[in-house]
Amino acid sequence: MACACSIRQIVKRDGQLVDYDRERIATAIFKSASSLGGSDRPLAERLAAEVEQALIATYGAGAIPTVEEIQDLVESVLISHGHVRTARAYIIYRHERAQARAARARQPVEASDNIPYKTIYEVLRWNMDHGCETVAGLNRIIAAGRLPELVRDSDQRYHDEVGRGVERMLERLPALRIVIVAGPSSSGKTTTTIKVGERLRAAGLELVAINLDHYFFELARHPRDEFGDYDYETPQALDLPLINQHLVQLLEGRTIRTPHYDFKTGTRQLEVHELRLGPRQVLLIDSLHGLYDGMTALIPPEQKFRLYIETLGQLRHADGTFMRWADNRLLRRMIRDSWHRNLQPLATLTHWHYVRRSELKYIIPFIGSVDLLVNSALPYEMPILKARLFPFLPEALQRYQGDAQRQDAYLRARRVFELLQPLTAVADEAVVPPRSLLREFIGGSAYIY
């Protein structure tokens, strides 16, 4: 039964928009309660209505929440109303659904429901082999003075993955003309792109970047979100027809003039920056939306190599729950924004749900169509990130717990706080090499970003 409330649609895990249905929330709650002997369907429906009101209060009337956001609020509402046992059963229910999706994915397919199960299984095995798959395991490594060894091995694993990607690129020459580096926010795209460029240069090739930020529409033609704010996260904010036209011309050997976009004024000037591809040059598209079909619709598949980066870390809490990849990236961005953009960590935290919603709709659904998936999670980064960020989390919990419009920030802060609390913090960052991907976020890199 579709709901008549102001929420009309939701974003599924595969990025599709579907009709919102409060009954599905009530059914999930009822099933969780039934597993404990409960039989009160009307109570489940009342709680579902509470979840709905929390969604509207948190994201605004007319918002399009994700499945993940809805499920997080279900857990929060159950706990706040004293249904702790039902909340635990609901968490188990979510886990079982994920396991069922994993079972369906045990076939020669890279990703199912946007989750690369084969890859994360390999990541988990690597972590287990190195004793860093749990918070307790990391603490033991730190206590034994073996963190430098873990840093060395983690960085080598990442470098090897990037190297395999470049080998595949070279195998596809001379047809290959474009390398697309994509991934969600703070996944490490910039460092990975630099390292790909280093290896291609050693093979006599050069990456030449096209700056897609200059292809934003002027504000007068810019799409807006449900709150009326200009939405820079959607690919429709970019002039996709002009991008395709210029890509075709570049691959034909012609010289183009890209636009120039002024973010301060929201205006664009056409035909400003000259760009041409030489015979040993490969075009680089480094964009959040590089895998979006409309971005390179006119370019044949054999001319494109699509590299996707994600923090596929497998770090388990004492209760068996794994750290979410998005939370890993959130911590990275909270630190980077603080020194690179002069933003307070809590400002990044409260803005994160906008970023996450765009990722789930425009970026993550393409994870199954890429040529290579690189895991940028570094098991040693959590103790270092904790030393930088943990002092901010209690303030976030206190400030946002009672704020209906900040429940997303509260839930994320609580989740990260509970994971990091028992972890040993490492304040001495000298253990991190200057060419480590982590330096992209904590500063002190040998690379210029």
In the prediction, which pLDDT does 114 show? 54
Question: Which structural domain range is residue 50 located in?
Answer: 1-104
Residues 55 and 154 placed together within one structural domain of the fold? no
Angle, helices 345-362/67-80, rounded to nearest 10 degrees: 130
Has residue 320 been placed in a domain?
no
Query: Which CATH number characterizes residue 254's domain?
Result: 3.40.50.300
Has residue 115 been placed in a domain?
no
Residues 97 and 142 placed together within one structural domain of the fold? no
Residues 149 and 32 placed together within one structural domain of the fold? no
Residues 292 and 173 placed together within one structural domain of the fold? yes
Residues 154 and 100 placed together within one structural domain of the fold? no
Last residue in a domain, options 310, 344, 376? 310
Q: Which two tokens stand for residue 20?
A: 């919102």
Q: Which two tokens stand for residue 197?
A: 């460029």
Has residue 286 been placed in a domain?
yes
Last residue in a domain, options 264, 295, 310? 310
Residues 224 and 150 placed together within one structural domain of the fold? yes
Has residue 294 been placed in a domain?
yes
Instruction: Count up the domains in the chain and report the number.
Output: 2
Residues 176 and 32 placed together within one structural domain of the fold? no
Has residue 267 been placed in a domain?
yes
Residues 74 and 195 placed together within one structural domain of the fold? no
Residues 100 and 139 placed together within one structural domain of the fold? no
Residues 93 and 158 placed together within one structural domain of the fold? no
Residues 3 and 68 placed together within one structural domain of the fold? yes
In the prediction, which pLDDT does 6 show? 81
Sign of CA dihedral 109, 113, 118, 123: positive
Has residue 341 been placed in a domain?
no
In the prediction, which pLDDT does 13 show? 66
Has residue 423 been placed in a domain?
no
Has residue 257 been placed in a domain?
yes
Residues 175 and 304 placed together within one structural domain of the fold? yes
What are the pLDDT tens digits along the chain (449 aa)?
A: 445 578 888 887 666 778 889 988 988 898 888 888 888 889 999 999 999 998 888 888 878 888 888 888 898 898 888 888 888 787 777 766 665 555 444 332 244 445 677 788 889 989 999 999 999 999 999 999 999 999 999 999 999 999 999 999 999 999 999 999 998 889 999 999 999 999 999 999 999 999 998 998 887 777 666 556 666 667 888 899 999 999 999 999 999 999 999 878 888 999 999 999 998 999 999 887 888 888 999 999 999 999 999 999 999 988 888 899 999 999 999 999 888 767 789 989 988 887 887 788 777 788 878 899 999 999 999 999 999 999 999 999 999 988 888 888 999 999 999 999 999 999 999 999 999 999 999 999 999 88
Last residue in a domain, options 56, 85, 104? 104
